[in-house]
Structure 1
Amino acid sequence: MRSEFLSARPSQYFVRAVVFGAGAFALVWVVLWAPKTTYGPAVDDPIDFATTFLDSMTLAGVLFVVASGFTLIFGLMRVVNMAHGSLYLLGGYIAYDLQQRLVHNANPGFGLLSSQVAVWQWVVPAIAASACIAVVGIVMQQGFLRWNQGQDLRQALITIALSIIIADQMLAHWPIQESVAWPGTFDRFVSIGSIDYSLARLFMLAVGVVVGIALWLWL
């Protein structure tokens, strides 16, 4: 059985390499060699195209991290956690509140400036919020989901109800959209060839890549 599994891995790597190569070739073709259309070239400004491409990749990295958590929980524990997104958002708001308490804001009516935030004032809220959400997840598992192990429909209904409750409580406590401020170290632009791009977004993309590689090697 193990030998069959090991023999199947090279073919999987080959398929993934072919898919990746085809995608890379299509991207290069669109940017460099695609013929003009009746409305002009396929890519009018390569720099704008590259910036938009990086924007989409960083957003995809964030969504991948969120989705990988959902997939990991379902794959290892067989738990259908439809409240996963609400817990992710709750963690963000907890980190926001903690950061507001750690940083002295001279203008409390306005958001924090990146120049006011040190790296540790971003890392500590992120770790603390993750720990808080881990505790909430344990309570959900032990209080509601453990009794319905293997009952996918019941788990889905329970977690949907919990998601609605959590969302309503967040709306009551944080009536407007807030966001955690990046530290000044990351809130700047770096040059990538002819492109000036946000270092914070590149960090988000790097986190997504690291998580993807770690899950690939682990699982």
Structure 2
Amino acid sequence: MIPYDLSPLALSLRVAIISTIAVFIIGVMLARLMNRHEFFGKSAVEALILLPLVLPPTVVGFGLIVLFGRNGPAGILLEEWFGVQVIFTWVGAVIASFIVSLPLMYQSTAAAFEKVDPRWENVARTMGVTEWRIFRTITFPLAWPGILAGLVLAFARGIGEFGATLMIAGYIPGETETIPLAIYFSYEAGEMEQATFWVITVSALGLAAITWLNYWRRRHAGRAGKE
């Protein structure tokens, strides 16, 4: 049975898309920075980036509440400077999605940058090419398969985020009700048909994303082999 209200689908897609765009920008910047520079405490910084992978979602959600709550440092700045409230809004869902999916994007992108042969970059430098152009025309295209994999995984993880989202955004139908929240509260209310519909929907979205990624990888590998 298809529910009349499809707002959880629209909200989940909006949250996942926005958070994935942010994850793409920040993830690539962090991975490039960590790849190019050695500094004291680098291992600790990388561990901090990857920490949400091993923490329970409730711990991540609690940390976000402390940081972005009305009395939290980030929450005070956002509300005073931009008039943006994070707690119990869809913005909180975006932030939760961003935090839990960033490690996946970072790991995949960092591994992709490490596989890029530095000799190609060094040749370009000897020809006087700027660092930005080297990154844009050599490094990024060569690392793109790994970056794309990180993007797809980040999107799938973002659209399925539950624990941290529930804590920071709460459950407000039509406002913060993403698909995972709709599944949980439909089940709690005994609405099994509706819960099943959302389970099938989110599973189909994740399966479609991963299937497309695998297809693209095989196609890309085939083209590379012919060349």
Answer yes or no: same fold by TM over 0.5: no
- Give the helix-richer structure, 1 or 2: 2
Structure with larger Rg? 1
Does 1 or 2 have the higher relative contact order (CA < 8 Å, sep 6+)?
2
